Structure 1
Amino acid sequence: MLRLKADECYNITKLLNDLDNMPALATTHSLNDYLKLPISRYREQLRQGNAQSIEVSYTHRSKPYQYSIQLTKTSCNYGGHRYWWLCPKCYQRTSTLYCAGLYVCRHCIGANYGSQLQQPIDRVFSRIAAIRARLGWQQGVIHGIGAKPRYMHSKTFDRLVNEHDRLSVEVWQSTLDKLNCTR
C-alpha cells in the first residue's frame, strides 16, 4: 500500500473510476486516496485581512469547478485566532477538505484514516514498531531487546520495555494460534 506524508497529494483518477463502479457500502478507502485542501495553503491570504471565504477553481475528472468555500475562525488561548473551513456539504468546521468532486470533509466522503483500516494484529505490529523506534532499537520483534537509550529515564524505559514484551507475547501467541501449535 502506498504511504504518503500528510502534505503530499497524488492523482486519483483511476481510483475514483474504480470507486464509481463499486457499490457504496463495499468501499473501504482511506484519506490517502483523496486530494487535500489544507487551510494552511492559504495562510498568507488569510493574514492579509478578515477573510470570510476563499474562492477556489480547479478541474476534477475533466469538469471545471469554481466556487467559494466559507471560513470561520476561533480564538486561540494565548491570543490571535485560527481559521477553519466550513464543509460546503454539512457545514462542519474542519482544517482539511478532501476532493470528491467538490471539496468536502472526511465525514461527508465516508473515508477513514489509514490506521482505522488496519487489522488488530497489524495495529499490534504498528505499536511495537513505534516503541522500538522510540527506544532506538532495530525494527522487528525477532531482533530482541536492545540497550536503554542515553538520557531516557529508567522508569520510562522500564514501562516501554514492559509494553513491548506484552505486545510481543501477543504477537507470538497469535502466530502460534494460527499455526495450531498451542496445546
Structure 2
Amino acid sequence: MPALATTHSLNDYLKLPIARYREQLKQGNAQSIEVSYTHRSKPYQYSIQLTKTSCNYGGHRYWWLCPKCYQRTSTLYCAGLYVCRHCIGANYGSQLQQPIDRLFNRADAIRQRLGWQSGIAHGIGTKPKGMHHSTYDRLVNEHDRLTSKIWQSTLDKLGCTS
C-alpha cells in the first residue's frame, strides 16, 4: 500500500526545470548556470553544471547535473540546494495515491474523455461526435468495470458483503 501523508510528494518542492533557461541556452555553449535565491530566509548563490546530449535529428538537449549526485536530470527540486528527485527522496503524487483513489481518478478521466458529468453516481451520457464506436464501447466497458470495483470496495469496507 502506498505511503500516506507522512511522505513528501514532489509537489511539495519548488521546481527548477531546464526549460526555464531555454532562451539563455540557445545563445551559446553554456557549461553551467548561475542561480541565486532565498530559501527559508537563507540566501543561496552557486553554479549548477550542465551537460548536453545529441538529438536524433540534429541539435542537442541540455540537462542539469545534480549538485549532489551528478546524475543527469531535466528538473531540480529545492531542498535548500536544488537537487534531483532521487536525492530529495520524494515521490510523485501518483505514487502516494491509495488504490481506491486511483480507481476514482481513472473513472473520472474516462468520463471527462467521453464528455460525461464527473462522478460515478451520474448516469451514462451519449457517444461524443467523431469518436469511433469501438473506442466508445471500450471506454464504457472500462468505466463499468471501474465503477463495479469502486462499489465492491465500498461495500467491503462497510462489511456489506455476503
Task: Say yes or no: TM over 0.5.
Answer: yes
State the match for 1:181 in structure 2: 160
State the match for 1:144 in structure 2: 123
How far 1:93 moved relative to its partner? Answer: 0.9
State the match for 1:97 in structure 2: 76
In 2: Cα distance, 1:146 partner to 1:76 partner: 44
Does residue 170 (structure 1) correspond to residue 146 (structure 2)? The answer is no
In 2: Cα distance, 1:47 partner to 1:60 partner: 29
State the match for 1:49 in structure 2: 28
In 2: Cα distance, 1:27 partner to 1:176 partner: 28
What secondary structure, in the 3-state scheme, does the structure 1 residue paired with 2:69 have?
Answer: coil
In 2: Cα distance, 1:65 partner to 1:179 partner: 52
Number of residue-to-residue matches in the alignment: 158
The one-letter code of the counterpart of 2:159 is N
In 2: Cα distance, 1:117 partner to 1:138 partner: 26
Q: Deviations over 1:77-100 (max 9, x none)?
A: 222111110111111111110000
In 1: Cα distance, 2:121 partner to 2:134 partner: 24
What secondary structure, in the 3-state scheme, does the structure 1 residue paired with 2:34 have?
Answer: strand
Does residue 64 (structure 1) correspond to residue 43 (structure 2)? The answer is yes
What secondary structure, in the 3-state scheme, does the structure 1 residue paired with 2:153 have?
Answer: helix
In 1: Cα distance, 2:102 partner to 2:31 partner: 41
Q: Which runs of 5+ in 2 are unaligned?
A: none
State the match for 1:5 in structure 2: none
Q: Output the aligned Cα RMSD.
A: 1.2
In 1: Cα distance, 2:132 partner to 2:58 partner: 35
Give the stretch that moved more between structures: 125-134 or 61-70: 61-70
What secondary structure, in the 3-state scheme, does the structure 2 residue paired with 1:141 have?
Answer: coil
How far 1:161 moved relative to its partner? Answer: 0.8
Return structure 1 stretches of 4+ with deviation > 4 angstroms. none
TM-score, normalised to structure 1, is 0.83
State the match for 2:96 in structure 1: 117
How far 1:147 moved relative to its partner? Answer: 0.6
The one-letter code of the counterpart of 2:51 is T
Structure having greater relative contact order (Cα 8 Å, sep ≥ 6): 2
In 1: Cα distance, 2:15 partner to 2:98 partner: 26
In 1: Cα distance, 2:142 partner to 2:6 partner: 34
In 2: Cα distance, 1:78 partner to 1:31 partner: 32
